[in-house]
Structure formats: structure tokens, C-alpha cells
Amino acid sequence: MARHLPPASYMRNLLLKIAGIRKIVILGMASLAAAQTGATAGQKNAASSGAYIVKYYVADPASDSTYETGPLHIVFSDGTEIVKELPPKEESTENNIVMNQEGFSDPQLADDRQTIGWTDTYDNCGTSYAVPLAVDIYRSGRIIRRIEPGQMVWSWMFFDRGKHVAVVSGSTHGPEVGTFRLYEIETGRVLSEAHGDEKTQALKPNAPKWAKQLESRLNGGGEAK
């Protein structure tokens, strides 16, 4: 995986060492709260019953912004537009290291056209840019599931019309093939897991179909289901 950078395991070990003497604040909950209430003034928090998503996009950041992206926009068939704003940044101090959310990436729409998801990118001490660390799933006016695999999210996709979501995660650099997991969105339960072959840097031939589809998307093919 030549496009990945220094190992996430290095970052985790470094943070664990720092945690003994410093307080580390990761703004995951703040990001989730901001996403739940992200509609701007004058906009509805949810579309009408039966409305479906017709358009979605991540806006560019404002010229004076310190974020890597702008807000996430979700437009419904009834004209409702939901705008997910990024949470305010906090300053790191000697005793308080903050990993701020820097943007949204890889938004995808499920085949039911009611369920949409995206990744949240965060500061990373091992790279010069933010990396995706969580997948948020949105439906019926709120985020219904947040998946944090513990490492960089390499890719993800919906299955079964938004009932399941598959995520592959791994280090930000190195020869790892990554860990593939299939989640039930309603409960967050891991339904299946697959690992690659370190020698071939690919999934094994007997890997489940969903994992092979996600691997294909990771390598440039495949679409949301």
C-alpha cells in the first residue's frame, strides 16, 4: 500500500506514552455532537417523510479557513438541505494534546437513498495531513452509527441497501493488507471479519464476497450497495 504513510501503531504507541504525563483529548464526541446539530439557521434538521437524497457534496473550505474541507451538504427531494458543520477547533497545550477534526471525506449514498455515510478526518502526528479515523452513518435526520476501527480507514462501502457497512482499516504506512470488517448498522455489531495474506498483500482466495468487493473498491473499482 504505497500510498499510506507512517504506521498508525506508531502513533498509538506514542500517544499512550504521552498519556502517562499528559491529558489527551480526541474530539470524536464533539464531532459527533456537531454533526447531529449541523443544520444551519433557517434549515430543517430532517427531511419530510418519504423524501430521498438527490445530491450530496463536501464544500471547499472558505479562503480564511484553517480546515482541510468545508461543510458536508445533503440535499433531499423535498428541497431540504442539511449542512454538517465541522466542530470548533481547540488549541493544544503542554498538558492537553488535541486532535482536531479537519474535514469530511468519501461520502457515499446507500441504494435506499435514505442512508448516507462519510469519513471524518483528524489531525495525525505521523503525517502532514489529516487522516480518516471514523465512519459516520446518517439516516432520518441524525447520525445513527459511528464506526471507529482504531486505525486509518482505508476504504468503506454500504451493502444490502444500507443495512450493513464494510470497512477496511490499517496503518498509515507499511506493507499491511488491512483488516476488513462487516458491521450491522442497526446494532454496530461486527458480523464478519477478514484478513489478508502478508505475502501477497491481498485477500486470500476464500475471503468472503463482501470483503473482495471492498478490496476492489480500495483498488479503484466497486461502488456502494
Ordered domains of the chain (ranges, CATH): 8-218 (2.40.128.630)
As a whole number of angstroms, the distance between CA 108 and CA 111 comes to: 10
- Asked whether 220 and 202 are in contact (CB, 8 A), the reply is no
- Asked whether 163 and 157 are in contact (CB, 8 A), the reply is no
Looking at residue 222, its pLDDT comes to 63
**Tell me: the pLDDT tens digits for 139-196?**
999 999 999 999 999 999 999 999 999 999 998 876 677 999 999 999 999 999 998 8
Stated pTM of the model? 0.79
Residue 56 pLDDT greater than 60, yes or no: yes
**Tell me: the pLDDT tens digits for 59-88?**
999 999 999 999 999 999 999 999 999 999
Express as a percent the part of the chain with pLDDT over 70. 77
Beta bridge mates, 53: 76
**Tell me: the pLDDT tens digits for 104-134?**
999 999 999 999 999 999 998 777 889 999 9
Looking at residue 5, its pLDDT comes to 41
Looking at residue 225, its pLDDT comes to 58
Closest residue by Cα to residue 103 from 151, 31, 46: 31
Rg (CA), the chain: 18
Residue 1 pLDDT greater than 50, yes or no: no
Residue 14 pLDDT greater than 60, yes or no: no
Cell numbers for 110, please give them.
Answer: 446507500
Main-chain phi, psi angles of 128, to 5 degrees = -90, 0
Report in angstroms the alpha-carbon separations of 207 from 11, 162, 201, 213, 220: 29, 22, 13, 10, 19
Beta bridge mates, 157: 166
Residue 52 pLDDT greater than 80, yes or no: yes
SS3 (DSSP) at 41:
coil
SS3 (DSSP) at 214:
helix
Q: HEC profile for 89-119?
A: CCCCECCEEEECEEEEEEEEECCCCCCEEEE
Alpha-carbon dihedral sign for residues 44, 46, 51, 56: positive
Looking at residue 215, its pLDDT comes to 93
**Tell me: the pLDDT tens digits for 27-50?**
344 444 444 444 444 456 689 989
Looking at residue 172, its pLDDT comes to 86
Residue 25 pLDDT greater than 70, yes or no: no
Q: What does the longest C-alpha to C-alpha distance in the chain come to?
A: 55
Cell numbers for 211, please give them.
Answer: 470483503
Looking at residue 43, its pLDDT comes to 55
> How confident is the prediction for the chain on average, in pLDDT?
82
Looking at residue 40, its pLDDT comes to 46
- Asked whether 209 and 191 are in contact (CB, 8 A), the reply is no
Q: Could you give the angle at the alpha carbon of 137 between the alpha carbons of 53 and 171, nearest 5°?
A: 130
As a whole number of angstroms, the distance between CA 162 and CA 158 comes to: 6
